Structure 1
Amino acid sequence: MDERYDVVVIGGGAAGLSGALALSRARRQVLVVDAGAPRNAPAGHVHNYLGREGTPPAELLEIGRDEVAGYGGEVTTGEVVRVEREDDGFRVDLADGRAVAARRLLLTTGLVDELPDLPGVRELWGHDVLHCPYCHGWEVRDRAVGIVATGPMGVYGALLWRQWTADVTLFQHVGRAPTEEEREQLTARGITLVEGEVAALEVAGGRLSGVRLVSGEVVLRDAVVVAPRFTARADLLADLGLETVELEAHGTVMGSYVPADAMGATAVPGVWVAGNVANLQAQVIAAAAGGLNAGAAINADLIAEDTRLAVAAHRLIGVR
């Protein structure tokens, strides 16, 4: 082993850095291993983060790294390729050949947005192609927004985004058609329903110009909303016997996550999770809160272990 730590945090986003900050302030030896590919990198700003509203994602992470380092925590750029239980802790192998030991693990690797397979979606993702109104609704308020339905949540999404703009068009791309009750709801709220498969998003000068249907018709839109599948980045935990589970809503699979208790403890002793890998709906501030909770729980668990070891040593000395 190159080094030994109380805790190795795998993932250096808001959840990982928040957990590392709490643990470093608790005078634990902490290493954060970050692959440098944050989920919100395409977004221009972080929103709904009290005190940091509108901060660029990269800037927020840089501030967090500096704070962790200020309390003695280590943050390194790299990729963890394997974790395995070893003795009373874990062995963590990095892609550069380095191996470190950890008494506890905190996995904050986030999730992958699996986008609909439509031309134009990927290149516009994060600025003109959106998914969360609480993240981006204000930025497209009163503009022409299109909802591309790829499942049973299309009507719900259209009604939700109607809060931010009166110009909403629901494109019934795939999935079941709206019921009569849902059609009445759309009409009552002034939402246009376009029935017909979407062929692609029209891109002009790197920006969205409209939605092109299979029929050839183009409907002008300033922003488009899609529903990705949210898949937890948790392959590393399979070797420890921990699997992800699917999250269903309204009869459709929304994604996968690692189950854990309220403080992030998993079914595998010594392993905690926080952020989007455990909570698909967590925005940045919620992910940071999850990391804090997990950090506190890990420290408490280590204190209990330290105390058991100290008592055992004390008794041994007494016997002698």
Structure 2
Amino acid sequence: MTEKGNIKSTDSMYDVVIVGGGAAGLSAAQMLGRTRRSVAVVDGGQPRNAPAGGVHGFLSRDGIDPAELLAIGRAEAEHYGAVVVRGEVMATSGDVRRGFEVTLDDGRQLRGRRLLLATGLVDELPDIPGLQERWGKDVLHCPFCHGWEVQDQAIGILGNGAWSVHQALLFRQWSSNITLFLNDTTDPSDGEHEQLAARGIKVVAGAVEAVRVENDALRGVALAGGPEVAVDAVVVGARVHSRLAAFSGLGLSATAHPMGIGDYLETDADGATAVPGVWAAGNVTDLRAQVLASAAAAAWTAVVINNHLMAEELNRDVSAYRESLALTGA
């Protein structure tokens, strides 16, 4: 249940504390609950995809409202015994030997034998009027998430770095009416200019001043000291940042992404971080993962965490068994 009264006392310890109540965190909670592990999920209530009109590319749930998807996920996790705790994690401490302690913004503390971070990412948009207000509506970033919904429309690609050329070429698959706004941040090579021209993509120089909105719909891109170009949707490559400040006490820190688009938490293929007993899953460690991929990765990481706990329990019980045999002389 999602209630304070169901939180174990600080003298008790969950098998796993999961930080993050999005698709990844809830998927892991469901899997761990099914293995009969005691699980607490700390949910700050700020899912990355909250502004989106729907979740796409999720088999059997295509187009579902993000909030509805999470409500279903919470109910399923709670069905298997997981406790969902509303709150923000402010600090963490401990280690795999003693267990981990998580302190929430209201002073409550949770303890877990293992810790799973599913905190996701924060999108940082360019400081251009209109972008933030339309984010997730007609200001987009991923063609696989939103391309179908804007197919055959006039789409503007807002230059925000070297990857903007790739975005323009990619969105050309969904529409023949693509305009790349260089925005004084993107400088295509000769070869890229040739590619853009070959695909019929218009290139507009100059800084972008604002995104124009009328009647709750995007209408165009205004250039500084220049004209306004009509578009139906704008694509921008947001920089992304991992939510890791609360875990510095464990020695965890972000790694700069090699593409220069932000940072993430490095893990191995199973989600294990450099800190023993701490795992991560979802966007916090995989910037490319869509909702379905994040949920799937977290389910596998949950299996790995369960097996890690099982190995510890087996070693403990074998040692106790041997001691009992020695005492009885058997």
Please give the range of the TM-score, normalised by the shorter of the 2 chains. over 0.9
Q: Which residue number in structure 2 is paired with residue 231 of structure 1? A: 241
Superposed CA offset, 1:67-90 (max 9, x none) = 111111111211111110065211
TM superposition score normalised by structure 2: 0.93
Matches within 5 A, 1:127-276: 127-249=137-259, 253-276=260-283
Give the total of aligned pairs. Answer: 317
Question: Of 129, 133, 158, which aligns to 1:119?
Answer: 129
Superposed CA offset, 1:81-137 (max 9, x none) = 111006521111112221121000000000000111111111110111101000100
Provide the C-alpha distance between the structure 2 equivalents of 1:255 and 1:26, rounded to a whole number of angstroms: 35
Q: Which amino acid aligns with 2:169?
A: L
Kept in 2: contact 1:151–1:174 (CA 8 A): no
Provide the C-alpha distance between the structure 2 equivalents of 1:134 and 1:142, rounded to a whole number of angstroms: 15
Gaps of 5+ in 2: 1-9
Gaps of 5+ in 1: none
Q: Which moved more, 1:204-213 or 1:125-134?
A: 204-213
Q: Which moved more, 1:139-148 or 1:153-162?
A: 153-162
SS of 1:208 mapped into structure 2:
strand
Whether 2:108 is the aligned partner of 1:98: answer yes
Provide the C-alpha distance between the structure 2 equivalents of 1:94 and 1:24, rounded to a whole number of angstroms: 22
Q: Which residue number in structure 2 is paired with residue 78 of structure 1? A: 87
Superposed CA offset, 1:36-71 (max 9, x none) = 000000001101111111111111111111111111
Kept in 1: contact 2:164–2:186 (CA 8 A): no
Question: Of 49, 57, 61, which aligns to 1:40?
Answer: 49
SS of 1:276 mapped into structure 2:
coil
SS of 2:160 mapped into structure 1:
coil
Provide the C-alpha distance between the structure 2 equivalents of 1:105 and 1:180, rounded to a whole number of angstroms: 49
Provide the C-alpha distance between the structure 2 equivalents of 1:233 and 1:79, rounded to a whole number of angstroms: 11
Runs of 4+ in 1 over 4 A off after TM superposition: none
Kept in 1: contact 2:17–2:114 (CA 8 A): yes
Kept in 2: contact 1:3–1:99 (CA 8 A): no
Q: Which residue number in structure 1 is paired with residue 298 of structure 2? A: 291
Whether 2:28 is the aligned partner of 1:19: answer yes
SS of 1:75 mapped into structure 2:
strand
Whether 2:15 is the aligned partner of 1:10: answer no
CA apart distance, 1:2: 5.4
What's the C-alpha RMSD, in Å, of the aligned pairs? 1.2
Kept in 1: contact 2:159–2:186 (CA 8 A): no
Quick one: structure 1 residues 176 and 130, their matched pair in 2 at CA, closer, same or farther if it must change by over 3 Å?
closer
SS of 1:96 mapped into structure 2:
coil
